[in-house]
Amino acid sequence: MNAVKKTEKSLRKTISFRCYAELNDFLPFERKQRNFTLSLKTPVTVAEVIELLGIPLSEVDLVMVNSQPVERSHRLLKNDYVSIYPTFETFDISSLKTTQKQPLRITRFILDAHLGKLARYLRMLGFDTLYKNDYGDLEIIEIAKEQKRIILSRDKLLLKSPRVNHGYYVRATEKHNQLIEVAAKFELYSQFKSFTRCMTCNTVLLSKSKETIRKLIDPDIYGCFDEFFFCPVCNKVFWRGSHFERMEGLILSIISNKSK
Ligand SMILES: [Zn+2]
């Protein structure tokens, strides 16, 4: 009997953990916002430990072991230090995910009725952004929860709802400044995919060969540009004209603001 116990004990390894931001909501008091150690039977994977901690895997964005990003199937070793980050941590972790086949974090937004111009700008930068000027508060909260979207709002009452997990009160009132503020708050810079999404309806634009859009646009424009994009919902063709250049100037000003 003692021998069995000894064998079991020898398979246990001490591993250190720290969970960040709202992942602490799933932890008992003594493990919240601090480092803690567990003596775990090995072999054990990252995914198994996250479940053991009572954290739903869907809430986890990034796991780092000894400062290196790892897959969920990664096996933990004695004295490892494991950092677990949630989906909506606001600092930029996307560049760290070199081992992931595709980024786990997809930053999506839903905006309230006051932020229509900001919605267009976020779409311009390629962010999946829902906006309607007649969304009700409950509707916004439900969609945000279901689709894991961050709520951006100028309505403090909406954001005070206990059902809002991921909301942010946009301070700036002018659209350029709002975009600069949101890009800085969520450190969006590495996720820019400018001019890939329709600013009007949020649909991802399709790249079209010149020949296929010949009948849809003015011959002068057809002659001046080689690259065209198409929104299948709005049925509109886009090209890199003067509007595009102004937008590019705006994007550059956001990026230069980052280094200030
Ligand atoms: Zn469209």
Residue 100 predicted with pLDDT over 60:
no
Residue 235, Cβ neighbours under 10 Å: how many? Answer: 8
DSSP 14: E
Per-residue pLDDT, 2: 45
Q: How far is the CA of 237 from the centre of ligand 1 (A)?
A: 9
Q: What own/partner pairs with CB < 8 Å and gap ≥ 24 does 48-53 have?
A: 49/15, 49/17, 49/76, 49/82, 50/84, 53/17, 53/19, 53/26, 53/27, 53/84
Q: What share of the chain in percent tops pLDDT 90?
A: 44
Q: How far is the CA of 103 from the centre of ligand 1 (A)?
A: 25
Q: Residues 153, 169: contact at Cβ < 8 Å?
A: yes
b/e per residue 97-126 (b: at least 16 CB within 10 A): beebeebbbebbbbbbbebeebbbbbbbbb
- Confidence band for 87, pLDDT divided at 50, 70 and 90: low
Q: How far is the CA of 243 from the centre of ligand 1 (A)?
A: 16
Distance CA 52, CA 124 (A): 41
Q: How far is the CA of 230 from the centre of ligand 1 (A)?
A: 8
Q: How far is the CA of 153 from the centre of ligand 1 (A)?
A: 23
Residue 254, Cβ neighbours under 10 Å: how many? Answer: 19
Reported as a single tens digit per residue, the pLDDT across 192-230 is 888 899 999 999 999 988 888 888 888 888 888 888 999
Residues with CB under 5 A from ligand 1 (ion): 198, 200-201, 203, 231, 233-234
Q: How far is the CA of 168 from the centre of ligand 1 (A)?
A: 26
Q: How far is the CA of 235 from the centre of ligand 1 (A)?
A: 7
Reported as a single tens digit per residue, the pLDDT across 143-185 is 998 888 889 999 888 888 878 777 888 889 999 999 998 988 8
Q: How far is the CA of 47 from the centre of ligand 1 (A)?
A: 39
Q: Minimum mean pLDDT among 94-98, 143-147, 211-215, 254-258: which range? A: 94-98
Q: How far is the CA of 54 from the centre of ligand 1 (A)?
A: 42
Per-residue pLDDT, 168: 85
Six-digit token string for 40: 């775990």
Burial category of 249 from C-beta neighbours within 10 Å (exposed 0-12, middle 13-18, buried 19 and up) = exposed
Distance CA 70, CA 79 (A): 16
